[in-house]
Chain A
Amino acid sequence: MLISHTRPGRIVVLFALLLCVGCNDAAPKPPVLDTGAGPDASEERASVYLLFDPQDCFTCEAEMARWVAHRREYPSRVFIVLTRRPSASERQAIAVRRIPIDGVSQDRRLRKAERGGRAFLFQGPELVREGRTADAELMTTIEQELGR
């Protein structure tokens, strides 16, 4: 065990823990994907990430078609991302719907307990908006940004 039993040592450990929690509360950055997919370094316009749990593929399919269409139109700016590696049956469910997956991100700051996809709009490294994919207003904002 590396935890110090001296009083100054405990204070140092506590301070380090607080720092660590502070790190987790920092504004999310565009997720780093296991595939390396992401906006080109020269891309200055907004980028959009859709994150969803592979198990939600069946329930969010009506919304997914819009995302697939946006990704086709803006391949360097729209990314469809899973929050974890899918099981065999989940891979099957994704494949039959022809949903292209750009990668997996396990960044906890981008995950929410709620069911359904979550969208993140970034301007460079800065998070501008986030919300549920079912949020029509968010979707409108995202489509306006993509159209710029």
Chain B
Amino acid sequence: MMGRAGGMMVLAIFAFVACGRGGGGERVYLSEVEELPPTDSVILAETEVDYIGSPAHITAGPEGTIFVSDAMNSVVHEFSRDGGFVRRFGQRGEGPGEFGTPVATGIAHDSLLVVSDWRESRASVFSLASGVFIRSAPLEGYAFSMRAARGDTMVIGVTNPNLSTSLAKWSTDVGQVDYFGPLPTEYSQSIALLHAHPYTTATLLGDTILFGFSGNPNLFLARMDGTVFDTIAIPAVRRRGVPNDIVQRFAKDLTETEIAGMVSSLVALHRLSDGRVAVVHQDVNFERGAMSAATFLSFLSPDLRRSCPDIPLQFGRDRRPVVTFDGDSLLTLETKLRDGERAENVLLSYDLSSTDCRWVPLS
């Protein structure tokens, strides 16, 4: 569903591709574009009743629909890819199938919607076919990302301050959640840092877990038991990165604005079909309740030895965008204020198939 603005985007993309492929002109590499243009843009059809108050996370479902967890309205909304409202999961409450603050969403076994609930400290499972709540399990900590492993086992990026772990495995057909994986040493040195930027983002590369943190510059490679065997540092070229003295900085009293503005937060990881790994960071600005963010996309080569860092996406001026992947596409959900007042949520798609980049060897 592309309107006039969408048509302009297509023109912009043609212009971008033409520049990138040469034709006598100078080649433009992904890592040098001012802003990667989206390939599609859809306004979600919200109503006075079914609207997204505060999007916390999005996930693409197996049928192409989009699931949006809403921390303000305590539901998960489902929208079709052309923006139509499909249905909602859950409602505010503490009972089975209800949510306090739903955050991370994930799909297990192509048939289950899994949702972490920060306020209720649990994860809940719903049938995608019927929309019916199936079961829940206690989930302790800051859960931010969910990835299906084998079958219906979820690997959850969940920072657990009490156990000092970063990941959890949950076989969704039983109630047991197993916590594992280490936290960076900086988190043990600064409890303030841990609670300010606690989120773990994880994805699976076969039998390897690739994960990282919102308050740490590195990515970590671990076996399925959580044993870390390698570390990757993607250079921060255009984003803030994470300061080397972050522990010392968090020893002082900081304002919310200073806390949010100190780091580039890792928000998404995903392996593409050609083996590259897409990495998304955000530089967040927080001022008096208003949160904007610059979003940067980076790639790791399939052998994880080179990177294509910091390709800027559309700036989230009115609210921090939430992001996910669907195959070889990156999806961002952005809230935009029309005329400075009327909010609408726009789903942007970015095609990640281009490999034109000045690849940087990783040290």
Q: Could you list which residues of chain A lie within 8 angstroms of chain B, going by C-beta atoms?
A: 54-59, 61-62, 64-66, 68, 72, 87, 89-98
Contact A64 B289 (CB under 8 A): no
- Say whether, besides A65-B92, A72-B48, A95-B343, A57 and B289 are in contact (CB < 8 Å): yes
**Complex: chain A residue closest to B288, CB-CB:** A89
New A-B contacts (14) at CB < 8 Å, excluding given A54-B289, A65-B92, A93-B288:
A55-B288, A57-B289, A59-B289, A61-B54, A62-B71, A62-B101, A62-B119, A64-B53, A65-B73, A65-B74, A92-B290, A95-B340, A97-B343, A98-B51
**Do residues B319 and A96 form an inter-chain contact, with CB atoms below 8 A?**
yes
17 CB < 8 A contacts A-B:
A57-B289, A58-B289, A61-B54, A62-B72, A62-B119, A64-B53, A72-B48, A87-B288, A89-B290, A90-B289, A92-B318, A93-B288, A95-B318, A95-B340, A95-B343, A97-B53, A97-B72
* Minimum distance in angstroms from A69 CB to a CB of chain B: 8
Interface on B for A, CB 8 Å cutoff?
48-49, 51, 53-54, 71-74, 92, 100-101, 119, 287-291, 318-319, 335, 337, 340-343
Say how far B68's CB is from chain A's closest CB, in angstroms. Answer: 14
The answer, among A57, A62, A87, A98, for a CB contact under 8 Å with B343, is A98
- Bound-state CA distance A134–B287 (Å) is 24
Q: Shortest CB–CB separation between residue B51 and chain A, in angstroms?
A: 6
Give every chain B residue within 8 A of A56 (Cβ-Cβ).
289
Give the distance in Å from the alpha carbon of A93 to the alpha carbon of B54 in the complex: 10
Q: Are B53 and A61 in contact (CB under 8 A)?
A: yes
Give the Cβ gap from A76 to chain B, nearest Cβ, in Å. Answer: 17
Closest to A68 in B: B53
Minimum CB distance partner of B292 in chain A? A92
Cβ of A89 and Cβ of B72 under 8 Å apart? no
Task: Report the separation of the CA atoms of residues A117 and B329 in the bound assembly, to the nearest whole angstrom.
Answer: 41
Contacts of B48 in A (CB 8 A): 72
B289 and A89 within 8 A (CB): yes
- A23 CB to closest chain B CB, in angstroms? 33
On chain A, the residues within 8 Å of B337 by CB distance are 92, 95-96
CB of B48 to closest CB in A, whole Å: 6
Closest to B342 in A: A95
Picked from A55, A72, A87, A98, the residue with its CB within 8 Å of the CB of B53 is A98
Give the CA-CA distance A138 to B41 in the complex, in Å: 44
- A55 in contact with B340 (CB, 8 Å): no
Across the interface, B290 reaches (CB within 8 A) one of A66, A72, A93, namely: A93
| Interfacial chain B residues near A95, Cβ < 8 Å | 318, 337, 340-343
For the residues of B in contact with A, the DSSP-based class is loop
From residue B50, how far is it (CB to closest CB) to chain A in Å?
Answer: 11
Query: Is the pair A89, B73 in contact by a Cβ cutoff of 8 Å?
Result: no
**Is the Cβ of A97 less than 8 Å from the Cβ of B54?**
yes
Nearest CB of chain A from residue B340's CB, rounded to whole Å = 7
Which one of B71, B318, B342 contacts A61 once the chains associate, using CB atoms below 8 Å? B71
Distance in angstroms between the alpha carbons of A87 and B343 in the assembled complex: 18
Least Cβ–Cβ distance between A13 and chain B, in angstroms: 41
Complex alpha-carbon distance, A2 and B54, angstroms: 54
Chain B residues near A65: list those with CB within 8 A. 53, 72-74, 92
Contacts of A87 in B (CB 8 A): 288
Chain B residues positioned under 8 Å from A94 (CB to CB)? 289
Q: Nearest A residue to B287 by beta-carbon distance?
A: A89
Q: Which of B72, B291, B318, B341 contacts A64 (CB 8 A)?
A: B72
Nearest B residue to A56, CB-CB: B289
| B73 contacts across to A, CB distance below 8 A | 65
Instruction: Decide: A96 near B318, CB < 8 A? Known: A65-B92, A89-B290.
Output: yes
The residues of A that contact B72 with a CB separation of less than 8 Å are 61-62, 64-65, 97
A89–B318 alpha-carbon span in the complex (Å):
9
Cα distance A58–B53 when bound, in Å?
11
Q: Which residues of B contact A92 (CB under 8 A)?
A: 290, 318, 337, 340
**Which residues on B sit within 8 Å (CB–CB) of A61?**
53-54, 71-72
* Closest residue on chain A to residue B317 by CB atoms: A92
In angstroms, Cα B337 to Cα A68, docked, is: 19
Q: Is the CB of A66 within 8 A of B92?
A: yes
In the assembled complex, which residues on chain A have CB atoms less than 8 Å from the CB atom of B289? 54-59, 89-90, 93-94
- By a CB distance below 8 angstroms, the chain B residues around A98 are 51, 53, 343
Tell me the complex Cα distance, A138–B318, Å.
Answer: 34
- Complex Cα distance, B318 from A56, in Å, reads 17
CB-nearest residue of chain A relative to B100?
Answer: A62
Q: Which residue of B lies closest to A66 (CB)?
A: B92
User: Which of B54, B92, B318 is most buried by chain A, counting CB atoms within 10 A of its CB?
Assistant: B54
Q: How far is the CB of A6 from chain B (nearest CB, A)?
A: 50
Once bound together, how far apart are the Cα atoms of A93 and B340, in whole Å? 11
Q: What's the Cα separation between A57 and B319 when bound, in Å?
A: 14
